[in-house]
Structure 1
Amino acid sequence: MNEKKLTSASGIPYTDHEDTKGVGPRGPLLLEDFILHEKLAHFNRERIPERIVHAKGSGAFGTFTVTHDITKYTKAKLFSEVGKQTRILFRFSTVAGERGSADTERDPRGFAMKYYTEDGNWDLVGNNTPIFFIKDAKKFPDFIHTQKRDPFTNCKSATAVWDFWSLCPESLHQVLFVMSDRGTPVGYRHMHGYGSHTFSLINNENEKVWVKFHLRTEQGIKNFTGAEANQMKSVDSDFAQRDLLEAIEKGAFPRWKMYIQVMTLEEAKTHPFNPFDVTKTWSQQAFPLIEVGVAELNENADNYFAQIEQAAFAPAHIVDGIGFSPDKMLQGRILGYTDAQRYRLGANYEQIPVNRCPFAVNNYQRDGHMRVDGNGGRSANYYPNSFSDVRPDMSYVRPADQLDSNVADWFDRNGEGENDHYSQPGIFFREVLDQTGKEHLIENITSAMSGISGPKREEIINRQLCHFFRADISLGMGVAKGLGMDVASLMDKMPRG
């Protein structure tokens, strides 16, 4: 077997990997030992900044196969014909915890998807819930601050969490999802995924429809109870990572069927609530699921850091035939995610192999930290120019959007027509959860709210209970009793109307 020479990062062979050059066996070290510098300097930089959110995650590669024709809705090449396959990378994650946190924490699960298409990489960056806590991206930093560590105690704060949620009634729908057993899925293979936001599809005639993406697990839904999730933290804090990796290694490849819901532009105009509100779902009776294809994960990363930790996803990355919507959270994420990746990985993060489009990439971007693709060589770095053959392809022009208003203002997220925060949470409690699920939800909420402390404790609890009562009386009663509250007194304090 031919042995490989040990070299520095610049390819210079060296021999003393374990011993530093010094003055005698007991003397000081010499500054000239550059291998010492290289090893320590690289070691100090081995940890890139972890993601602000979704820091703890797992991922794998696979294929997406089209099984049903949706070309009447979209000209996106990955959906161009039945049987077409596209390479994919999926990354799953918890949201609030650091990289060393447990996989079974009560939390939404990130469900980020990268499709390596011939028209560029399409990133569908969603969660295992079809909704979210807030509907305006301006509130996102505040929300995440409540999920992270308190600036005084450096511990997680139930007071901050429930104070924020109680002051943001639009959070109630997602709060019920997360506090139910859906907030503690059994790994990543046994949960659904959602694009969550409303997107648009454009066909070859430039006709547009609004769309929501669903991925439904073929492994079946499985959730831990709160007690089981807490027990697993002490048994295996990396449970979900191990479960996904070992399943794929054994050939038990996890699969999800992709579906879409479609709403026409006219239907959106007359819909009883804002269809671009990410705190709400679309009725599957009114807008039935349309099957599209199957995603299968069948290849583990050879190196976690290179292929999963450095993987960068951004909702801004859409391809021809797929578009955005007026969803305010989506609009904010278009900016926020790409900016986060440039901070975390550098301006040229899309040149990292796992993020690089495997097809042609031509532009006039130059320089920047860690430019590794030749930097355009001698070619012109400006446009228009008389020398380069890189030109816009006008066949990719997107159709103009018809806006419903010419008024620019700060619109109240809880204004008239936007303020029904209780109907869907009530339906979720009454019609989606079975009796056991309802009991677990109330137990989980009671346990979580018991951690509220401080002089505002009663105020925060009463405010949140008002939201629960508005969604469903029995939900509010159950939580109030679990917290040992005087239910009769609470009912007297409830706002009427």
Structure 2
Amino acid sequence: MTAQDEYASGTLTTEAGAPVADNQNTETAGVGGPLLFQDQYLFEKLAHFNRERIPERVVHARGAGAYGTFTVTGDVTKYTKAKFLSEIGKQTEVFLRFSTVAGSLGSADAVRDPRGFAVKFYTEEGNYDLVGNNTPVFFIKDASKFPDFIHTQKRDPYTGSQEADNVWDFWGLSPESTHQVTWLHGDRGIPASYRHMDGFGSHTYQWMNAEGDYVWVKYHFKTDQGIKNLTAEEADVLAGKDPDSHQRDLREAIERGEFPSWTVSVQIMTPEQAKTYRFNPFDLTKVWSQKDFPRIEIGKLELNRNPENIFAEVEQAIFSPAHFVPGIGPSPDKMLQGRLFAYADAHRYRVGVNADHLPVNQPHATIAKTHGRDGAMYDGRHGRAKNYEPNSFGGPSQTGERLWAQIPVQGTAGNHAAPLHAEDNDFVQAGNLYRLMSEEEKARLINNLANAIAGVSKDREDIVARAINNFRQADEEYGARLEAAVKERRAGL
């Protein structure tokens, strides 16, 4: 009998395991009298019910997930010594959590918002978390701006609603956001489902081989189901009719045996190429040209098993880009550097300091051996083992082998802006993206942007003008068409 079967049958008990005599009627002082304080089973139930929710994620609160496998299809051993990538055909268990970014836990799936694409690889060297999105870029490139950015996407402290004034004020004053805003308001801004969208590692990461040589990499997950998106009008209807549309689609597809999959590839750049590349390769608002650095296929990711309990396995799943394995490490990407701390710390607060003890977060192909002890929900797994290192009692100790390569640094410490490369500005790639679109795609992009910007307060034309000017700098036609569309809508308000 499985643990699940045991919970589904037999005698109902208290949390301490004692049998429950009556789960229908509370103890009272006589028939119709007040409740008795001695009915501790009632208090146990009510107290537990009051605590059934943990703080929701500040971002990526709304999510769905599934288990599956990653299978290596390309030889990359000359680039990385990571064991889960060591031979063609090798399989590693994974858990993938999809999410929207700005909405709360109770929001709808079919909304215009980036989608989180977080993959946990249960490797034999420990868990490797790759935390990305369904877009290759992001709105900002410095972690210090992240709390400010998210505050503009959340509820205003006075009105209690998301305000167009806040959204467009920040984006207009942060021109580096122009590229991602163009992605977000284009046709791929509202995926039809989690199965029908691509994923990206977004950040730049380091791969190091067995000899200690390293390269920079970007991850791409190309959906094998094909890209499918919703128009704004279709999304408005679907979000109202079925707020759980994306979660339902993923779960039911796996139940039918239609296992979604993605072809995984990487772009690879040498340290020498990074020094002279025309864009800063560590700028999260930029992409690497695939003409300069073609994608190299490395594997296939398939999802084939639904979680049994959403709270335990999706809500309490934790991901951190700081969870590396030997052969993979960080880059100087300033957003990534901030997230190395912020993601893990968010889960220590939200789920607890021992969140890694939960089954979905434990390594599946090895055992975590740490000297961390105690704290809420500690399960005593270490027994009598000493909790320090070095020790002479046979405890786990360091390997002395680097996980990733050391990189040279120089200069004075200070609050520095990211270094500029030959073609670095905030508008080149946004303009390139616009010019790649068909006329029909451009028209839908202009319509989506104009509808959003038109919501800015009538007395704040400065916010409108500044926002439009960013798109004009990306492409003159882009800005002119958007300006005309916004004026038309605001005149009719």
Match of 2:205 among 160, 182, 199: 199
Match of 2:81 among 67, 75, 79: 75
Given that 2:97 and 2:119 are in contact with CA atoms closer than 8 Å, whether structure 1 keeps it comes out as yes
Match of 1:439 among 427, 439, 443: 443
Match of 2:425 among 392, 410, 420: 420
- Partners of 1:60 and 1:336 lie apart in 2 by 24
Matched, 1:23 2:26: no
Q: Secondary structure at the match of 2:487?
A: coil
Match of 1:365 among 372, 376, 393: 372
How big is the shift at 1:377?
Answer: 1.1
**What runs of 5+ residues in structure 2 fail to find an aligned partner?**
none
2:484 aligned partner: 481
- Partners of 1:396 and 1:361 lie apart in 2 by 18
Given that 2:265 and 2:296 are in contact with CA atoms closer than 8 Å, whether structure 1 keeps it comes out as yes
1:305-454, aligned counterparts within 5 Å?
305-358=311-364, 359-372=366-379, 374-396=380-402, 398-403=404-409, 405-413=410-418, 420-431=425-436, 433-453=437-457
Matched, 1:267 2:273: yes
- Partners of 1:181 and 1:238 lie apart in 2 by 21
- Partners of 1:74 and 1:440 lie apart in 2 by 42
How big is the shift at 1:27?
Answer: 1.3
User: 1:240-297, CA deviations, whole angstroms, 9 ceiling, x for partnerless residues?
Assistant: 0111111110011000010000000000011112110000000000000000000000
Given that 2:279 and 2:420 are in contact with CA atoms closer than 8 Å, whether structure 1 keeps it comes out as no
How big is the shift at 1:416?
Answer: 8.1
- Partners of 1:89 and 1:343 lie apart in 2 by 22
How big is the shift at 1:395?
Answer: 3.6
1:116-195, aligned counterparts within 5 Å?
116-195=122-201
How big is the shift at 1:390?
Answer: 1.1
User: 1:41-67, CA deviations, whole angstroms, 9 ceiling, x for partnerless residues?
Assistant: 110111111110001111100000001
Given that 2:278 and 2:423 are in contact with CA atoms closer than 8 Å, whether structure 1 keeps it comes out as no
How big is the shift at 1:26?
Answer: 1.5
User: 1:354-381, CA deviations, whole angstroms, 9 ceiling, x for partnerless residues?
Assistant: 0011212111111001012x24211111
Taking structure 1 as reference, are residues 410 and 362 closer, same or farther at Cα in structure 2, changes over 3 Å only? same
2:80 maps to amino acid:
T
- Partners of 1:306 and 1:323 lie apart in 2 by 29
Match of 1:295 among 301, 310, 330: 301
Matched, 1:48 2:51: no
Match of 2:95 among 77, 85, 89: 89
2:286 aligned partner: 280
How big is the shift at 1:398?
Answer: 3.9
- Partners of 1:322 and 1:418 lie apart in 2 by 29
Q: Secondary structure at the match of 1:19?
A: coil
Given that 2:327 and 2:403 are in contact with CA atoms closer than 8 Å, whether structure 1 keeps it comes out as no
Given that 2:206 and 2:404 are in contact with CA atoms closer than 8 Å, whether structure 1 keeps it comes out as no
**What runs of 5+ residues in structure 1 fail to find an aligned partner?**
487-497
2:468 aligned partner: 465
1:154 maps to amino acid:
G
1:164 maps to amino acid:
F
Given that 2:389 and 2:395 are in contact with CA atoms closer than 8 Å, whether structure 1 keeps it comes out as no
TM-score scaled by length of structure 1: 0.94
How big is the shift at 1:190?
Answer: 0.6
- Partners of 1:415 and 1:22 lie apart in 2 by 74
2:359 maps to amino acid:
P
Give me the identity figure in percent. 53
TM-score scaled by length of structure 2: 0.95
- Partners of 1:152 and 1:199 lie apart in 2 by 40
How big is the shift at 1:222?
Answer: 0.7
How big is the shift at 1:85?
Answer: 0.3
1:434 maps to amino acid:
S
User: 1:52-92, CA deviations, whole angstroms, 9 ceiling, x for partnerless residues?
Assistant: 00011111000000011111100101101000000000011
- Partners of 2:109 and 2:404 lie apart in 1 by 41
How big is the shift at 1:383?
Answer: 1.6
Q: Secondary structure at the match of 1:40?
A: helix
1:208 aligned partner: 214
- Partners of 1:268 and 1:419 lie apart in 2 by 13
User: 1:297-332, CA deviations, whole angstroms, 9 ceiling, x for partnerless residues?
Assistant: 000111111111111111111111101000000000
2:231 aligned partner: 225
- Partners of 1:49 and 1:397 lie apart in 2 by 33
How big is the shift at 1:400?
Answer: 2.4
- Partners of 1:398 and 1:284 lie apart in 2 by 25
